[in-house]
Structure 1
Amino acid sequence: MKTLILRVEQLASPLVRLADGLRPLVLLFIRLWVANVFFSSGLTKIADWDTTLLLFTEEYHVPLLPPAVAAVMGTFGELVFSSLLAVGLTGRFAAAGLFVVNTMAVISYPGLTDTTRQFHYYWGMLLAVIACSGPGLLSLDRLLSWWSRPQQDD
Structure 2
Amino acid sequence: MNTPVSAATATRGLVVVHRAWRGLEHVLEWAQAPALLAARAYVAWVFFLSGLQSLRDWPATLWLYENCFHVALLPPAAAAVAGTAGEVLLPPLLALGLYGRFGALGLFVVNIVALLSYLHALQTPAIMFHFIWGILLLLVALWGPGAWSLDAWHARRARGMAPA
What TM-score does the superposition give when structure 2 sets the normalisation length? 0.86
**SS in structure 2 at match of 1:102:** helix
Matched AA of 1:10? R
1:107 is the counterpart of 2:116: yes
5+ unaligned residues in a row in structure 2: which ranges? 1-9
Deviation at 1:150, TM superposition (A): 5.7
5+ unaligned residues in a row in structure 1: which ranges? none
Deviation at 1:14, TM superposition (A): 1.2
**Which residue of structure 2 aligns with residue 90 of structure 1?**
99
How many residues are matched?
151
Counterpart among 43, 46, 57 of residue 48 in structure 1: 57
**Which residue of structure 1 aligns with residue 3 of structure 2?**
none
**Which residue of structure 1 aligns with residue 85 of structure 2?**
76
1:117 is the counterpart of 2:137: no
Root mean square deviation, CA, Å: 1.8
Deviation at 1:11, TM superposition (A): 2.3
Larger radius of gyration: 2
**Which residue of structure 2 aligns with residue 11 of structure 1?**
20
Deviation at 1:63, TM superposition (A): 0.6
What TM-score does the superposition give when structure 1 sets the normalisation length? 0.91
Structure 2: distance between partners of 1:83 and 1:123: 16
- Report the CA distance shift for 1:145/1:46 in structure 2 as closer, same or farther (over 3 A): same
* Identity over aligned pairs, percent: 44
**SS in structure 1 at match of 2:121:** coil
Runs of 4+ aligned structure 1 residues displaced above 3 Å come to 2-8
**Which residue of structure 2 aligns with residue 129 of structure 1?**
139
Structure 2: distance between partners of 1:129 and 1:73: 24
